[in-house]
């Protein structure tokens, strides 16, 4: 079945080349598999669509014959998905068959590659963990302590990579710049690129004596306890970002972030819609007709509410401010009690007689 490349990129058939390029950048950033929440299958599909629509000749043939106009899977010159990802991670996006010319910065930001790199050690890897909480904890918030095994700063050198008594010296390879210029011969001639210094790893200096504890990397695999404050109002599937709690990069690099995905266990009593809570309460026919006060369970415990005269089955009674805590706000949603009138299955002779009399009366 022919693929709709325009739909995949979210543009119409009359979209300009600039519109297509913008749509590709946005989708590539969203679905990239090396980013949290990325989707490799969708990322592959987005790149396949862009490869065709960014090329005027291929786009013309696609508009005429559909996506089967070439049996090549979207990657020109015999390049498959593994080749594509390998090139992307090495910053070689501009070598692809399509018009990827100025998109090297996108892939450089993903993988630390690209035509030039900023000075300084790389940032550490992000981590994602899952935590399960119950319904009331999600409503009001809770604090959890988690044990994480991750790459962290060396306790001996504090991440410098040198022995405690070792001095830091200017890197002789890059002369303290943290970067080196590399010349590479290509079919187009000699090309120069700026890369992170391989000896000081972007710091511009290095220790005279390597730390014996971590081998000079400045990091070790350690287990650490992290306290996570889950805010009230969080919903099932939402994530919390803790900046700097991910893995630490070697050679004095920064730390990544920790993403905590929250899973809320369903409640047997409460149902959630946004920040409002819904429960059910059974009442008798006389209570519905005459009105009454009944006890209902709320997030704050058992309370009494008034059932108005003439209440019908399925009617909602609102309890203001007894719902879920709003995220980043002090107010709460409401609690709605859905009334269900209970009809008795069996009646005594006396009760039946009175109901017959009531039936005539009504």
Fill in the DSSP letter of residue 199: T
The mean pLDDT value of the chain amounts to 83
pLDDT digits (tens, 9 = 90+) for 12-22: 999 999 899 98
Give residue 62's pLDDT band: very low, low, confident or very high (50, 70, 90).
confident
Indicate if the pLDDT at residue 103 is higher than 80.
no
pLDDT at 359: 77
The residue-averaged pLDDT of 239-250 equals 92
pLDDT at 68: 62
Indicate if the pLDDT at residue 191 is higher than 90.
no
pLDDT at 1: 55
User: What are the C-alpha distances in Å from 247 to residues 127, 154, 197?
Assistant: 7, 12, 22
Lowest model confidence (mean pLDDT) among 40-54, 77-91, 165-179? 77-91
Which CATH code fits 271-361? 2.60.260.20
Indicate if the pLDDT at residue 91 is higher than 60.
no
pLDDT at 92: 46
Domain ranges in the chain?
5-111, 127-264, 271-361
Most confidently modeled range among 2-11, 29-38, 351-360: 2-11
Q: Under a CB-based contact definition with an 8 Å cutoff, are residues 124 and 249 in contact?
A: yes
pLDDT at 344: 83
Distance between start and end Cα atoms, the chain: 66
Would you identify the CATH topology of the domain 5-111?
Answer: Helix Hairpins (1.10.287)
The residue-averaged pLDDT of 345-354 equals 84
Which CATH code fits 127-264? 2.10.230.10
pLDDT at 84: 53
Query: 302 — phi, psi (to 5°)?
Result: -80, 130
* Closest CA relative to residue 292, chosen from 313, 310, 306, 302: 306
Lowest model confidence (mean pLDDT) among 78-82, 266-270, 272-276, 331-335? 78-82
Query: 339 — phi, psi (to 5°)?
Result: -85, 135
pLDDT at 99: 44
pLDDT at 283: 96
Rounded Cα distance, 310 and 211, in Å: 81
* Closest CA relative to residue 166, chosen from 117, 114, 209, 111: 209
Indicate if the pLDDT at residue 77 is higher than 70.
no
Burial of 207 (0-12, 13-18, 19+ CB in 10 A): buried
């Amino acid at each position: 079945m022919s693929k709709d490349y325009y739909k995949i990129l979210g543009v119409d058939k009359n979209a300009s080349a600039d519109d297509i390029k913008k749509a590709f950048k946005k989708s590539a950033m969203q679905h990239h598999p090396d980013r949290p929440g990325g989707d490799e299958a969708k990322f592959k599909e987005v790149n396949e669509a862009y490869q065709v629509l960014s090329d005027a000749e291929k786009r013309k043939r696609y508009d005429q014959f559909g996506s089967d106009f070439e049996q090549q899977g979207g990657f020109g010159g015999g390049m498959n998905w593994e080749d594509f990802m390998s090139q992307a991670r090495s910053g070689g996006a501009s070598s692809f068959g399509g018009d990827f010319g100025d998109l090297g910065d996108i892939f450089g930001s993903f993988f630390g590659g690209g035509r030039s790199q900023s000075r300084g050690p790389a940032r550490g890897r992000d981590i994602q963990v899952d935590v399960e909480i119950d319904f009331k904890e999600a409503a009001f918030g809770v604090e959890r302590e988690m044990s994480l095994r991750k790459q962290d700063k060396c306790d001996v050198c504090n991440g410098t990579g040198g022995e405690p008594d070792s001095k830091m010296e200017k890197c002789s390879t890059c002369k303290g710049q943290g970067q080196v210029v590399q010349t590479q011969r290509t079919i187009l001639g000699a090309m120069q690129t700026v890369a992170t210094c391989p000896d000081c790893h972007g710091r511009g200096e290095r220790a005279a004596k390597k730390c014996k504890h971590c081998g000079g990397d400045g990091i070790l695999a350690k287990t650490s306890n992290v306290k996570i404050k889950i805010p009230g109002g969080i919903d099932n599937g939402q994530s919390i970002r803790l900046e700097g709690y991910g893995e630490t990069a070697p050679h004095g690099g920064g730390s990544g972030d920790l993403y905590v995905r929250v899973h809320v266990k369903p409640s047997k009593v409460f149902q959630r819609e946004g920040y409002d809570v819904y429960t059910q309460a059974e009442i008798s026919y006389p209570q519905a007709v005459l009105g009454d006060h009944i006890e209902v369970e709320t997030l704050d415990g058992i309370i009494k509410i008034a059932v108005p005269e003439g209440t019908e089955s399925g009617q909602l009674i609102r309890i203001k401010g007894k719902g879920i805590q709003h995220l980043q706000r002090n107010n709460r949603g409401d609690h709605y009690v859905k009334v269900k009138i209970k009809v008795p299955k069996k009646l005594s002779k006396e009760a039946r007689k009175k109901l017959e009399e009531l039936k005539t009366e009504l």
